[in-house]
Homo-oligomer: A and B are copies of this chain.
């Protein structure tokens, strides 16, 4: 009996060994083919981390769409007088301000503290001056970027909630750590959230913890890992102040309320509405140094649209030609506004994934893979998101309310190829190639090339019966 067991054990061991080895090619395949997408779904956040003055929603970064694109997406909700505590992330960030206004500071090493004041600070009783690095305003429609590893904070100085959708490009070459993003907080005691849809134990951390996808219990800011005495020595402060750096008992979370509002040194805005446009002007000659690099660009202004069709809508691209720092980040963005029932020409992106987040209204989308299979054929609503992988073909049609979206793209100069309309791939082909490829008459081929005269965005009221090729 013992012998049998032993035999069976040893044999099973062999089998285990062999079985695992036999599986390897399959596993390898799976791991390398994260874009073998059979089904794309419109996603909404599935986890939330609450804080005193707002919260952050997380889209499920283990979803295949995100794994394929190599990115993650989060959404901050910062209440008026809310301060998102200073932190840095191991990936470049591209943030779109869906709503609200405020200002932010990005701490860049070696850059001077150019904002100086002689005014007395209001909270303090003593007289001293402050000086700090420059403060940047943001408002609805802005794209704000943060290089990997650059610490930053954000503050809502407006009357309404700031809603900010952030793309984290985890597979960017600037990230030399592993695949998922991690947020290093400089302050506070970032709390676990109450995930609406919890993986494993529930809760969410700022990045992956040691146990894989699960969360971690005692997450704190980076000062928590240093000795108190060391901190007191390096900052040359007393023990009490050093303890506050570690904030062990801070229960406010990552977005805190600034009771009487945040007082910082900042120039007056010209006109709160026009300021962004003024900043969108020409390079200032110092553009090339990181300290004076422009980090914000408003793309919500139809008067500066890249495509404009009064019957169909408009869209505005932000690439490294407009915002040079994007060359370093290898990211770009598109702001699209589509009127009711208008259509974006079927198209594919040559060199980028596209992460489309709907900010208003809804639209129907069809996404097609290389085998001609429809991997998505559904509506996408406000607050939802869809990843369109590189080279996959996609068509978009606004719903009854029209649709507005922001699309993040994983290339600093994403190139679009349309299939229909002016400047499309079919337009570029000779009529006879089309006729032979599709087994149709030259007249039909001609109508495919020239019937739709618009570019990129098509009005819904086009000549729906104008099928003749006669102009």
Contacts and interface: CB of A to CB of B under 8 A. Distances in A.
Contacts of A151: 417, 425
A230 interface: yes
A223 interface: yes
A213 interface: yes
Contact of A62 (B23, B25, B226): B25
Nearest to A183: B370
A121 B27 CA distance: 54
B90 A390 contact: yes
Copy tally for this chain in the complex stands at: 3
Interface in A371-426: 371-375, 377, 389-391, 393, 395, 397, 410, 415-421, 423, 425-426
Interface string A424-453: 011111111111111111111011100110
A369 to B, nearest CB: 7
Given A179-B32, A184-B348, A443-B126, A430 B4 contact: no
Contacts of A216: 371
A434 B262 CA distance: 11
Given A218-B371, A226-B368, 19 more contacts: A1-B4, A12-B16, A21-B23, A24-B27, A33-B180, A70-B176, A88-B350, A105-B429, A126-B443, A128-B446, A130-B432, A184-B370, A186-B425, A187-B438, A223-B372, A223-B419, A235-B451, A235-B452, A237-B451
27 contacts: A16-B19, A21-B23, A24-B27, A26-B212, A83-B436, A108-B428, A109-B417, A113-B427, A126-B443, A126-B469, A174-B351, A184-B348, A185-B370, A209-B371, A218-B371, A222-B368, A222-B370, A222-B419, A230-B343, A234-B421, A235-B447, A236-B452, A236-B467, A241-B444, A258-B436, A262-B436, A263-B432
